[in-house]
Amino acid sequence: QVQLVESGGGLVQAGGSLRLSCAASGRTFSSYHMGWFRQAPGKEREFVAAITRSGGSTLYADSVKGRFTMSKDSAKNTVCLQMNSLKPEDTAVYYCAADPRGVYSRRSPLGYDYWGQGAQVTVSS
């Protein structure tokens, strides 16, 4: 079993930046692909970003390309999401997730067996 704990959420004005972190325990990241998803009030959970287990490849939703950057520090069992040029539409609860198999598309939540508790990100206009 792996446990995921997000941190770094908060309130920021439009155009500002936030950095989310996700720390894993129980197992190392060597066996897992990692992803970030978000869910705004009244909306379905949507894909934000993903990274391979080696950290060598990243994938981003079109809505965040050029603004968000995902990274992985295997030595610390931590993944981060650097969010720049934030917009009010980025307001959501952000979830860190771990995929142990890599069978499904990284954009789909189906393959992610482990989820963090969520971190609230609020962007004011």
Q: What is the pLDDT of residues 65-86, one digit of tens each?
A: 999 999 998 888 899 999 999 9
Residue 75, helix vs strand vs coil: helix
pLDDT above 90 covers a percentage of the chain that reads 80
**Pairwise CA distance, residues 62 & 74, whole Å:** 26
Compute the 3-state secondary structure of the chain and give helix, strand, coil in percent, each to the nearest 5.
Answer: 10, 50, 40
According to the model, what pLDDT value does residue 68 have? 98
Residues 110-117: what's their mean pLDDT?
95
According to the model, what pLDDT value does residue 53 have? 85
According to the model, what pLDDT value does residue 96 have? 97
Residue 28 has pLDDT above 70, yes or no: no
